[in-house]
Amino acid sequence: MTAGTAAASTHQARFDAAMAADERIEPRDWMPDDYRASLVRQMAQHAHSEIIGMQPEANWITRAPSLRRKAILMAKVQDEAGHGLYLYSATETLGVGRDELLDKLHSGRQKYSSIFNYPTLTWADVGAIGWLVDGAAITNQVPLCRCSYGPYARAMVRICKEESFHQRQGYELLLALSQGTPAQHEMAQDAVDRWWWPSLMMFGPPDDASAHSAQSMAWKIKRHSNDELRQRFVDICVPQAEALGLTLPDPDLRWNEERGHHDFGAIDWDEFWQVLKGNGPCNEQRITQRRKAHEDGAWVREAAAAHAAKRASGRPGAPHESTASDGSGRESDEAQVEATA
Ligand SMILES: [Fe+2]
Ligand SMILES: [Fe+2]
């Protein structure tokens, strides 16, 4: 055995031991190339989904029916931008730059969740997205708080807290519509009818057709299988739909005493693969809009880079990094006064 292969096997043994002991892997730890690549793929796809997911709902900000609803929706859409930022930052700890990831998104080489390729046709869709889409996201993401890669797990803790608010605002919005006029009730039901099945698809293909699932579970990136999480989501939603006074569009949905779970109808996987391949109702619109937003934001990135360069040059009068621990910026102001005095 050469010195190189001996070192590699020691690294691998340490990594395996950390996995077995349920310890976190941190950015400076050695990790297998495949583990790193798998994390980059999943985290990038997750980050992309957060920022693409801003589009269908932002579509309704100008048409929110009240100031209160508008303020809530704006806060939610901003949260999603923040989730994208946490996740791009977490992915950077694996040695992949944000530019590279965005470039892959814009050129179709990396994917985002297929759910965001469906249109938001009415105001009730904002409620259905909050209740079902954010609800499915929480079901998927709570276990990721225990993911083996430290920066991803820590990003998920904060994201899940915010997703929980998103889910509740959607539920509350749908409840108001469901208990409103007959036309409002009908609008809520129509939105749930359209979003229910795509939400179930968010958990990914069935376990036996899921390419990355088994390895991701062995690496403790994923903690539960797609089908397991989908079942959990269905079981959570059924009583909530009842409380909302809305029906889930599945004639096969019923409680199975023996299994202790709800049985549900067959998912149209053909539709899922079609949307994933780019043939969903809004794929083209979403990417075109994303590219335009990126191009329109070029001046902001240039200004930020120029500002950072100026700060790094340490010229008198250049803004200094804050050293204030209370976040007030006071100490930094004093430092600047001293520097320019
Ligand atoms: Fe999010
Ligand atoms: Fe969300």
pLDDT at 119: 97
Taking the C-alpha atoms of residue 281 and residue 133, their distance in angstroms, rounded to an integer, is 17
Which ligand sits closest to the CA of 133? Answer: 2
How many whole angstroms from 162 Cα to the centroid of ligand 2?
7
Q: Is the Cβ–Cβ distance between 47 and 81 less than 8 Å?
A: no
How many whole angstroms from 148 Cα to the centroid of ligand 1?
20
pLDDT tens for the chain, residues 1 to 341: 566 777 778 899 999 999 899 899 999 999 999 999 999 999 999 999 999 999 999 999 999 999 999 999 999 999 999 999 999 999 999 999 999 999 999 999 999 999 999 999 999 999 999 999 999 999 999 999 999 999 999 999 999 999 999 999 999 999 999 999 999 999 999 999 999 999 999 999 998 887 778 888 888 888 889 999 999 999 999 999 999 999 999 999 999 999 999 999 999 999 999 999 999 999 999 999 999 999 999 999 999 999 999 999 986 555 555 544 444 434 343 333 333 33
How many whole angstroms from 241 Cα to the centroid of ligand 1?
22
How many whole angstroms from 257 Cα to the centroid of ligand 2?
33
How many whole angstroms from 86 Cα to the centroid of ligand 2?
13
- What six digits make up the tokens of 227? 């089908």
Per-domain residue ranges of the chain: 11-300
How many whole angstroms from 296 Cα to the centroid of ligand 2?
24
What torsion do the CA atoms of 103, 118, 142, 92 make, to the nearest 10 degrees?
10
Concatenate the DSSP letters of all residues of 88-120 into one string: HHHHHTTT--HHHHHHHHHTTSS---GGGGS--
* CA-based torsion, 188, 189, 193, 194: positive or negative: negative
pLDDT at 53: 97
How many whole angstroms from 313 Cα to the centroid of ligand 1?
37
pLDDT at 157: 94
Which ligand sits closest to the CA of 83? Answer: 1
Q: Is the Cβ–Cβ distance between 53 and 113 less than 8 Å?
A: yes
Give the residue carrying structure tokens 């990790």.
Answer: 31
How many whole angstroms from 95 Cα to the centroid of ligand 2?
26
How many whole angstroms from 35 Cα to the centroid of ligand 1?
24
How many whole angstroms from 98 Cα to the centroid of ligand 2?
21
Task: State residue 25 phi and psi, 5-degree precision.
Answer: -95, 130
pLDDT at 148: 94
pLDDT at 210: 78
Which ligand sits closest to the CA of 132? Answer: 2
pLDDT at 197: 98
pLDDT at 340: 37
How many whole angstroms from 197 Cα to the centroid of ligand 1?
20
- What six digits make up the tokens of 173? 């919005």
b/e per residue 284-311 (b: at least 16 CB within 10 A)? eebbebbeeeeeeeeeeeeeeeeeeeee
Q: Tell me which residues have their CB within 5 A of the ion that is ligand 2.
A: 134, 163, 166
Q: Is the Cβ–Cβ distance between 137 and 53 less than 8 Å?
A: no
Q: What is the pTM of this model?
A: 0.87
Which ligand sits closest to the CA of 76? Answer: 2
The CATH class of the 11-300 domain is mainly alpha
Which ligand sits closest to the CA of 82? Answer: 1
